[in-house]
């Protein structure tokens, strides 16, 4: 081989690689559809054995396994593939933390097609489909409740610990836009005297009900069906959960919702907001900071707000102070807001 | 902030990030469509100034610039953005090496939709659209010839140097599937006694003709219109160029073409094959190794072959020996094959 690398020379690789980044999404989605990680986890490590187990061509299997090795989901040694630590935990169907179901939400055309013409989105400053994912009773949120639950199990448990450190004994918990209900359910499991009220659209609440039943806490899981902006929350909540919700809306909409939350809280109550919250520079950490792009493409007015922006919204709504907690290794962060 | 990072703990970030990787493609394509890099290169560095210059919303512009910073195309300091070295060279329209046009090929639905259902592709072992990109006279290749030329300028010059080190004075050069014609044209510019014959489908050759004229070498640029598998190449070529072509086909098809090439060559002639050639492990270097996925999705039988596979194909076709040259920083590699 002749010639050597010039690390300082301009290199078009990043352009080419990024313009083809969509094939990474396609490959991971395809591997999950084929249950390839489960096949390898069961001990099929050669192309021939994996292909047989997933009922696919040897050529396609070889190219997919190599590609997954390149992008960090498998390792390869002497023609044998193995799962990485993360793939074994999150992508092998036999793992209790399996989260392959999230492709059923993150991969639906209703969401992904919002990025078909990003120039138009940037010109406009928001989604170019009618209401994006925010239309009333959009069935996308039932799918969300079903498929994203595995990704929320860890943050739900970490949040329940934060609540337990501040609120013990009898308490009334409101879970706004509860979805799968896991956040409220985690608190109910941790505190046998906690009474949970889940709010969401009716068809979504059916999923939360199912999960509350499975967790054995249905007798302490009340439900309010309807939009968070329209329903009567009731009063005297010691804890309010606002998870992955505020990023869909603009600041005035959020402040108006937060005033309603504030009014529904008992003296000394706390609100916990789970969000993708970038640092003040808005470009770190990468996953939280990237989330603004997802909101730009899929909502009319959503954003990934910084802590200082949330701090201002909560104060304007009447809260006295706010503090931020990390949930690592989950990319989410929690703001605890005091009435 | 509480809690610290657990670098060894399982982390779902890679799953989430990869399932959203398509938004990277969308963002870069959108930024090129909006000519955002040119705007910044011209000295517009604040969100307000950039938005005004690209006629877009401030919010969309801010989110896009932050996202491009996260994925490595911009830098950000004190609310001001700047181009990276690579962005300045390849994505600013005022740069002579501007290659933003490649989105017109890499981004067309005819290519990208091949990855909509990768599980089906892997099951089958090749494209699930009829012939993928290989149908006869597919107009995609005229677009390719126009839009991919800027990405091929550097490899074309590096290849012309390899030719110049082995062949001087009068020589006859056949450029198979010439496309934009840049590879033959680079040799014609380097060697005033070189006679080039470009072969490709008629509508594609029109692009090569145009480029030969611009380069002032049209009087030494003959053309053969038709499929490489059908046309008569003629004889007595000292140099044959086979650039980004063999990856579309299976081994028997390539060997048959290479026998035809061998027969068309003069004694002592050389063939230069420009390709994405992964190492024998097939998972390094990343760009060349990833290319097999592109071929799996978009062709019935194509692949990114290793050097040992090409070596065998050329030997089976009658060539005496083969050697590989790096073209860094271009991700391509060249095999020089001796008659």
Q: Write out pLDDT tens, residues A33-86.
A: 999 999 999 999 999 999 999 999 999 999 999 999 999 999 999 999 999 999
Question: CB distance B107–A303 less than 8 Å?
Answer: no
In chain B, residues with a C-beta closer than 8 Å to the C-beta of A121 are 30, 60
Q: Which positions 297-336 of A are in contact with B (Cβ < 8 Å)?
A: 297, 303, 324-331
Q: Which of A5, A56, A97 sits opposite B122 (nearest CB)?
A: A56
Q: What is the pLDDT of residue A134?
A: 64
Report yes or no for ipTM above 0.85.
yes
Q: How does pLDDT run across B154-173, given as a tens digit for each residue?
A: 899 999 999 999 999 999 99
Question: CB distance A16–B97 less than 8 Å?
Answer: no
Q: Is the pLDDT of residue B209 over 90?
A: yes
pLDDT range class, residue A208, cuts 50, 70, 90: very high
Q: What is the pLDDT of residue B104?
A: 86
A279 touching chain B per CB within 8 A: no
Residue from A38, A290, A308, A311 whose CB has the most chain B CBs within 10 Å, to mutate: A290
- Other Cβ atoms within 10 Å of B118 Cβ, number: 26
Q: What is the pLDDT of residue A1?
A: 35
Question: CB distance A297–B23 less than 8 Å?
Answer: yes
Q: Is the pLDDT of residue B68 over 70?
A: yes
Question: CB distance B90–A12 less than 8 Å?
Answer: yes
Q: B135: Cβ–Cβ under 8 A, 6 or more apart, which residues?
A: none
Residue from A60, A249, A286, A324 whose CB has the most chain B CBs within 10 Å, to mutate: A60
Q: Is the pLDDT of residue A135 over 80?
A: no
Burial class (CB within 10 angstroms; exposed 0-12, middle 13-18, buried 19+) of A4: exposed
Q: A174: Cβ–Cβ under 8 A, 6 or more apart, which residues?
A: A197, A199, A233, A234, A237, A239, A240, A241, A261, A264
Give the integer Cα–Cα distance in Å for A317 and A33. 45
Look at B142 and A34; give whichever has higher pLDDT.
Answer: A34
Q: Which of A3, A103, A290 sits opposite B325 (nearest CB)?
A: A3
Helix (H, G, I), strand (E, B) or coil at B127: coil
Q: Is the pLDDT of residue A139 over 80?
A: no
pLDDT range class, residue B245, cuts 50, 70, 90: very high
Q: Which positions 150-209 of A are in contact with B (Cβ < 8 Å)?
A: 151, 154
Helix (H, G, I), strand (E, B) or coil at A240: strand
Question: CB distance B10–A90 less than 8 Å?
Answer: yes
Q: Say which residue the tokens 């706010």 belong to.
A: A322
Question: CB distance B122–A61 less than 8 Å?
Answer: yes
Q: How far is CA B297 from CA A12, B29, B123, B248, B250, in A?
A: 23, 20, 11, 11, 14
In chain A, residues with a C-beta closer than 8 Å to the C-beta of B251 are none
Q: Is the pLDDT of residue A3 over 60?
A: no
Span of A101-105, B114-118, B257-261 with lowest mean pLDDT: A101-105
Give the integer Cα–Cα distance in Å for A201 and A161. 27
Question: CB distance B59–A123 less than 8 Å?
Answer: no
A16 touching chain B per CB within 8 A: yes
Q: What is the pLDDT of residue A8?
A: 65
């Amino acid at each position: 081989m002749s010639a050597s690398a010039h690390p300082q020379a301009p290199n078009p690789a990043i352009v080419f690689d990024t313009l083809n980044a969509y094939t990474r999404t396609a490959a991971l989605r395809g591997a999950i559809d084929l249950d390839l990680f489960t096949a390898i986890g069961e001990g099929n490590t050669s192309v021939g054995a994996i292909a047989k187990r997933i009922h696919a061509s040897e050529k396609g299997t070889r190219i997919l396994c190599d590609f997954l090795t390149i992008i960090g989901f498998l390792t390869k040694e002497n023609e044998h593939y193995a799962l990485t630590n993360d793939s074994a935990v999150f992508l092998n169907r036999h793992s209790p933390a399996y989260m392959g179901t999230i492709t059923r939400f993150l991969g639906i055309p209703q969401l992904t097609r919002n990025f078909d013409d990003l120039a138009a989105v940037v010109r406009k400053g928001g989604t170019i489909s009618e209401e994006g994912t925010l239309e009333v009773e959009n069935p996308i949120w039932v799918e969300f409740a079903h498929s994203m639950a595995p990704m929320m199990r860890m943050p739900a448990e970490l949040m329940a610990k934060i609540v337990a450190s501040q609120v013990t004994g009898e308490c009334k918990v409101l879970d706004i836009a509860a979805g799968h209900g896991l956040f409220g359910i985690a608190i109910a499991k941790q505190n046998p005297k906690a009474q949970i009220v889940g709010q969401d659209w009716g068809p979504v609440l059916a999923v939360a009900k199912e999960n509350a039943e499975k967790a054995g806490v249905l007798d302490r899981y009340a439900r309010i069906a309807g939009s968070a902006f329209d329903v009567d929350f009731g009063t005297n909540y010691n804890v309010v959960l606002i998870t992955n919700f505020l990023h869909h809306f603009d600041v005035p909409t959020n402040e108006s919702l937060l005033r309603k939350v504030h009014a529904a809280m008992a003296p000394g109550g706390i609100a916990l907001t789970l969000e993708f919250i970038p640092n003040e520079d808005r470009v770190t950490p990468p996953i939280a900071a990237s989330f603004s792009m997802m909101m730009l493409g899929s909502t009319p007015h959503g954003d990934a707000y910084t802590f200082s922006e949330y701090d201002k919204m909560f104060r304007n709504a009447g809260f006295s102070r706010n503090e931020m907690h990390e949930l690592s290794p989950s990319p989410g962060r929690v703001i605890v807001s005091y009435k």
